[in-house]
Amino acid sequence: MVNTKVTLCGLELSNPLIPASGTFGYGYEFAELYDINLLGTFSFKGTTGEARFGNPTPRIADCPSGMINAVGLQNPGVDAVISTELPKLAKCFHKPVMANVCGSSVEEYVEVASKLAKCDQVGWLEVNISCPNVKHGGLAFGTDPNAAAEVTRAVKAVAGDKPVIMKLSPNVTDIVAIAKACEAAGADGLSLINTMLGMRIDLNRKKPIIANKMGGFSGSAIFPIALRMVYQVYEAVNIPIIGMGGVSSARDVIEMMLAGATAVGIGAANLVEPFICKQIIEELPAVMEQYKIESLADIVGKAHV
C-alpha cells in the first residue's frame, strides 16, 4: 500500500494537497460539496487588518489555459475572521488550517499575524508578500529581498510556535534571492508561486477587460514556470516548499514534488472544477503505483542530480 503522508514544518499531513488561498474561501463553502477533511489542509482567504471590499469590477478575464483576476483581497478583516469564519469552519474541518496573512505595511502584517497565531485552529501562517507596500510607492514587499526579510522577521517575532511560510511572487528578476532572504530572516517554509502579472484587452471597447487593467494570471499555462522556480529555489534553501501554480492533476502533484515541493497547492483549478482536490487525492495512489512510488515523502527533490 502506498503512503501519501508528508510532514510540513513539523505538522503531518495525510496527503500533500493544499487548496490555495483565495480559491477555497474559508472552507465551509466547499464542505457543502464533499468532506474537506480528506485534504492535507487548505489556506483560507487572504486576511487583512480591516475589512476590504476589493477592487472595482470587472475583476475576472478568461485566457486560454488560465484566467486573470484582480479581486483585491476582499475579506471581512482579521477580527471578523476569528469571531465568525473560524467557528463556522470548526464545524466541518477538524485539522489545522493555514492562515493567509496580508498587509500593506509591516505593522499590518504584524497585527494580523499576532491575532491569528493565537488561534488553536491555525497550524501555519502563510504570509503573502505580493501585497503592495504603501509606504514605498506601492512596490510589492516580495519584489525586494530586504523588504521580504523585514516582513519575515517581524511576523516571526509574533508567531509564537506557529510556522511562518512566506508566499513568494514570481514577478521578480531573481526569485532565488527573495527565497534566500526569507530563509535567512527566519522563515520556516516557502510557498511559490503566486500569480503572474497579466492582462487582456476587450476588442470591442478597445480597453482593458479588467477595471484594474492588470491582474494575477493563473491556471495550467503557468505550470512549467512554477515548476522551474520551485526547482531553482529547492537548490538554494533548506526549508520546505509548498509548490503551486497551474497544478491540475495527480501527475502535476508528483512532478512538483520531484522538483522539490513537500506539499502542493491547487489554485485556479478549484474555480474551474470544485471537486478537483478530491479527485486528485483519490487518483494519487494509482498514479504512485504506476510510477513505482511507495511514499510521497521519499520523492521530494528527487529530480535533482
Beta strands in 50-185 (DSSP E): 60-63, 66-69, 97-101, 122-128, 164-167
Which of the following is catalytic: 9, 102, 131, 277?
131
The answer to whether 80 and 74 are in contact (CB under 8 A) is: no
Asked whether 126 and 99 are in contact (CB, 8 A), the reply is yes
**For residues 84-96, b (16+ Cβ closer than 10 Å) or e, as one string?**
ebbeebeeebebb
* Cβ 5 vs Cβ 296: under 8 Å: yes
For helices 250-259 and 276-290, what crossing angle results, to 10°?
Answer: 70
Mark whether 131 is an active-site residue: yes
Residues in the chain, overall count: 305
Q: In this structure, are strands 6-8 and 17-19 parallel, antiparallel, or unpaired?
A: unpaired
Dihedral (C-alpha) 129, 131, 132, 133: value to the nearest 10 degrees?
-50
Active site residues: 131
